[in-house]
Amino acid sequence: MSAVARRSARERILSAAVRRIAQEGIDGVRIARIATDARVSPALVHYHFATRDALLAQALEYSYAHAGDARITGAEAPSLGESEAAQSHAERLASMIEQSLPTTPALEDDWVLWVELWLRAVRHHEFREVAESLYARMHVWFATEIAAGVAAGEFAPCDPGGVADRLIALIDGYGVRTLIGDRAVPLERARRAITDVIARELAVERALQGEPVA
């Protein structure tokens, strides 16, 4: 049995929807194209998702869960392998920042869906809960790692929640400029700017990318 056949129809629809929404925008996407990509009937797409907004909300959840291999999406973190467990908290935080920037094609698609969510949340109040939920999960992800670094004596004492808020704001600001191809903020500059600020705030002796903090 092929990998495509083994996946549930709903999962195939969501995977196809993520790609199509990223390419065409939620208002431009065609259900028939998603159905073709997912190898299902248009009627089945409509069965699972009554409206475009429902499709976007579920596609965001799916993309958030699958865009980064190590992205933590729930309250429980997956068990760590030996190599991951051996990482310092600074190294893990740097990896988490990397997973949150548009560093791969899958993460670029994830970012485009976030932009769609921002626009929907501004114009349609029902999407604010979706945005708040996803941001809350990301906040917990970062705050938990920062708190662990503080407890281990690797990071300076701080308010982990406050640092997480500022980190997410930096990722949003630099990430969107990288996503749109702003030549003043290429990916490497965005990555370095974010990690340098956070390294200083946490009083890490070496920057999160492994270079000395000036």
Contacts 24+ apart (CB under 8 A), 206-212: 206/90, 208/90, 208/91, 208/93, 208/94, 208/97, 209/94
Report DSSP letters for 148-179, one per residue.
HHHHTTSS-S--HHHHHHHHHHHHHHHHHHHH
Measured distance CA(167)–CA(171) in Å, rounded: 6
Q: What is the reported pLDDT for 214?
A: 45
Q: What structural domains and CATH numbers belong to the chain? A: 1-66 (1.10.357.10), 75-214 (1.10.357.10)
| pLDDT (0 to 100) of residue 85 | 55
Q: Quick one: pLDDT at residue 30?
A: 87
212 DSSP assignment: B
Instruction: State the Cα–Cα distance between residues 89 and 185, nearest whole angstrom.
Output: 26
- Residue 207 has a pLDDT of 54
pLDDT for 72: 46
Question: What's the pLDDT score for residue 161?
Answer: 98
pLDDT under 70 in the chain at which residues?
1-7, 67-86, 206-207, 209-214
The pLDDT, as a whole number, for residue 206 is: 62
**Residue 77: per-residue pLDDT:** 42
Yes or no: say if 202 and 149 are a contact pair by the CB < 8 Å rule: yes
Structure confidence at residue 21 (pLDDT): 86
pLDDT at 191: 95
DSSP state of 77: P
What does pTM read for this prediction?
0.78
pLDDT tens for residues 52-96? 778 878 887 787 777 544 454 433 344 444 455 568 999 999 999
| Residue 129 pLDDT | 87
The CA distance from 104 to 98, in Å, is 10
